[in-house]
Structure 1
């Protein structure tokens, strides 16, 4: 195979000196030759022609720019070599035109990663328009698509890449691109790499590739501090006499979330048809979470029932509450916390109410399994985070009183030592 390759295949980098730019630089071109037939392409790189090594087709010197361009040229060479090898292996023959088009992402669009991603997003948008999937999730997918598109353009100088070209370096470099170039946090990197990994799983199911190139890549969500307020602070908010009437709606919605665990979007989408009398004679919220499409069934206690009745008929449609924008809710919650003189270690947002529901009801003895069902978690491991939070609260409370027993501890320790001696 190597002998055949050397005699039929050649890749050369050269300068296109007849098209200089205003700064004097000229484009670096590539020429693929197979069986005497040559096809040229642009590397989308340009350099000062005085720094070009004609013999080796590289940039002279060890400057940062020289090293960077040579690295990109090596990468282009490596990818074209791989395309050539795989075409020869899969099809038994290839041409300079086929290799060029594959490298440029032309003619392989049906099985290229961005093309498949784009089609997936278009299908997802149709489901969003029908109310079956979340607009926020679609927005996230669009962000990931744009990041991936920019990454392929900057790292590989391509408009798209076939799935069969992907390797383990691709996802690691995309991870690095998100962390360094886009300054994403670890958990955001996790969120943004998951759709790309899912695309590869889809490609395997469709038979576009046989092996997962990302199988050795591992990343997981890091636990973050989930803000919540204590039961006594929930009561302070409930009984708060407001100085500004316009905060009352958000106060009621926040309290409603504290007693149902519904998130902002789930309260916004809550309809009267979701409130039903169930087998036990009590009223329940029977719904599916907008974020995950997982069932979330919550029995209504008296406080959320009173809030529901307070707004009956206000919206004039099937929605239970006239919910303001998320930004408005967060702004008003901040004002409410200040008025109620609630002091917390972390910033309180509207979503804090959902975390408060979890910690408050766990503390009062609701089993983890029941809480997980009410919150619509896909995995109970997500709910277990709240169990850890409540344990941390207990630990902090014990720290506050432990010093009061310091004298007793010292005396006991001294007695124990005397007994041993």
Structure 2
């Protein structure tokens, strides 16, 4: 008794029921076994059914109908056959290729580690979603979600698969996916490396459990390249402050950007800013205490007068802490900032994170604020991150001095 399969599948996989005549049970019956042949390898499984040799019809793989229990036995064999065929079809769809041992384990229903890459990805996404707001930021969760979305698209478009055995992941596969991120999805080098690092974390469990025979990331370069961090000059900041004739929404978005310039807060931290984040000292001075959404590091930011004035502008009282405004999505905000920048005569495109760069360079380091203090205000986990901005300032100083080096040459 066999479930009909296509000719191509038949060549690859067959199943049949046999009577194990070499093994006799105490009641004289012989066990019925399921023989599976997959890619030239044969395995046999006990079905839990048995019959006498004279009632077994080997040609049809079933018990003759003239016995009292033939109906129940044949019904169970048909159920097993359908189940095996269903498992085979599912594994071909999701895995493409698999071993007969993996096939047998599925038939037996053995508890197992995840077999496919999508199982690992889905499991990690479920865990991350539960950790959001506890020890994982929304930004980090969204980055993993983006990685998962790109990977699914890569499998479908490049490999014509919905899934893949995780054991098939090797360095060549990862390099192809990395190339897909860069060329097809237009991610820069650093963004692609960040997404690949997410995939590396997802696959750590499979590597440790040796489900993947060796670590395919060992020789894969995922280093970050130095980025030319753009920022605004004091004159450009003033041109934004002096800009008039804006619509209500453009004016608000301009003010959100300027607040970021004067506080160093990232978009997510401005969106999360609340009254209780602004602390008033006994002497009347104010500062912002806020755990960074991205790193959960506490930022301590003395509130500049310019920043306080922006908050007062949107306050429902005379207290700057009672500000009330709508913060649009980062995408919409950045789109409007491009318009605002052009209206202000600024040649480069404005975007929210540029304001954070401006705070680190023009507002603080260029004005002699120590790198340690700037690091604390930015909420950086290490000084190494802040030193990137210090290098920019040093380069600027060098360029300025180049203009002066020959000025006093004849003295």
TM-score range, shorter chain: 0.5 to 0.7
Does residue 358 in structure 1 map to residue 365 in structure 2?
Answer: no
The counterpart of 1:325, out of the listed 326, 329, 351, is 329
Q: How does 1:201-350 map to 2 (within 5 A)?
A: 201-203=204-206, 212-238=215-241, 240-246=242-248, 247-277=250-280, 282-313=285-316, 320-342=324-346, 344=347, 346-350=348-352
Q: Which residue number in structure 2 is paired with residue 55 of structure 1?
A: none
Q: Deviations over 1:250-308 (max 9, x none)?
A: 23222211111011221111000111135886322111111222222211122212222
Query: Would the alpha carbon gap of residues 100 and 339 (structure 1) be closer, same or farther in structure 2, given more than 3 Å must change?
Result: same
Query: Would the alpha carbon gap of residues 320 and 137 (structure 1) be closer, same or farther in structure 2, given more than 3 Å must change?
Result: farther
- Alignment partners' CA distance in 2, 1:215 and 1:375: 33
- Alignment partners' CA distance in 2, 1:124 and 1:272: 29
Q: Which residue number in structure 2 is paired with residue 125 of structure 1?
A: 129
User: 2:138, 2:294 within 8 Å by CA — same for their partners in 1?
Assistant: no
Query: Would the alpha carbon gap of residues 114 and 182 (structure 1) be closer, same or farther in structure 2, given more than 3 Å must change?
Result: same
User: 2:315, 2:322 within 8 Å by CA — same for their partners in 1?
Assistant: no
Does residue 195 in structure 1 map to residue 198 in structure 2?
Answer: yes
| RMSD across aligned positions (CA) | 4.3
- Alignment partners' CA distance in 1, 2:356 and 2:102: 59
Larger proportion of helix = 1
- Alignment partners' CA distance in 1, 2:195 and 2:143: 8
Gaps of 5+ in 2: 1-5, 14-37, 45-83
Query: Would the alpha carbon gap of residues 303 and 215 (structure 1) be closer, same or farther in structure 2, given more than 3 Å must change?
Result: same
Q: Which residue number in structure 2 is paired with residue 5 of structure 1?
A: none
Q: Which residue number in structure 2 is paired with residue 173 of structure 1?
A: 176
Q: When the two structures are aligned, how many residues end up with a matched partner? A: 334
Query: Would the alpha carbon gap of residues 308 and 95 (structure 1) be closer, same or farther in structure 2, given more than 3 Å must change?
Result: closer
Q: Deviations over 1:19-56 (max 9, x none)?
A: 9xxxxxxx99685122477x9978x99xxxxxxxxxxx
Q: Deviations over 1:384-417 (max 9, x none)?
A: 1111222232344345567x76xx97x99xxxxx
- Alignment partners' CA distance in 2, 1:252 and 1:232: 16
* CA-CA distance at 1:357 after TM superposition: 0.2
Query: Would the alpha carbon gap of residues 213 and 350 (structure 1) be closer, same or farther in structure 2, given more than 3 Å must change?
Result: closer
Q: Which residue number in structure 2 is paired with residue 12 of structure 1?
A: none
User: 1:227, 1:347 within 8 Å by CA — same for their partners in 2?
Assistant: no
- Alignment partners' CA distance in 2, 1:28 and 1:157: 21
- Alignment partners' CA distance in 2, 1:279 and 1:168: 60
Q: Which residue number in structure 2 is paired with residue 32 of structure 1?
A: 39
* CA-CA distance at 1:183 after TM superposition: 4.1
Deviates further, 203-212 or 240-249: 203-212
* CA-CA distance at 1:124 after TM superposition: 2.8
Q: Which residue number in structure 2 is paired with residue 160 of structure 1?
A: 164
Query: Would the alpha carbon gap of residues 115 and 243 (structure 1) be closer, same or farther in structure 2, given more than 3 Å must change?
Result: same
- Alignment partners' CA distance in 1, 2:334 and 2:370: 30
- Alignment partners' CA distance in 1, 2:177 and 2:267: 32
TM-score relative to the length of structure 1: 0.65
User: 2:289, 2:300 within 8 Å by CA — same for their partners in 1?
Assistant: yes
User: 1:254, 1:353 within 8 Å by CA — same for their partners in 2?
Assistant: yes
Q: Which residue number in structure 1 is paired with residue 189 of structure 2?
A: 186
- Alignment partners' CA distance in 2, 1:144 and 1:160: 16
Q: How does 1:354-393 map to 2 (within 5 A)?
A: 354-360=356-362, 361-393=364-396
- Alignment partners' CA distance in 1, 2:171 and 2:375: 36
Gaps of 5+ in 1: 1-15, 20-26, 46-75, 84-93, 413-421
User: 1:270, 1:320 within 8 Å by CA — same for their partners in 2?
Assistant: no
User: 1:272, 1:320 within 8 Å by CA — same for their partners in 2?
Assistant: no
Q: Secondary structure at the match of 2:218?
A: coil
Query: Would the alpha carbon gap of residues 100 and 133 (structure 1) be closer, same or farther in structure 2, given more than 3 Å must change?
Result: closer
* CA-CA distance at 1:379 after TM superposition: 2.7
- Alignment partners' CA distance in 2, 1:282 and 1:204: 53
Q: Which residue number in structure 1 is paired with residue 150 of structure 2?
A: 147
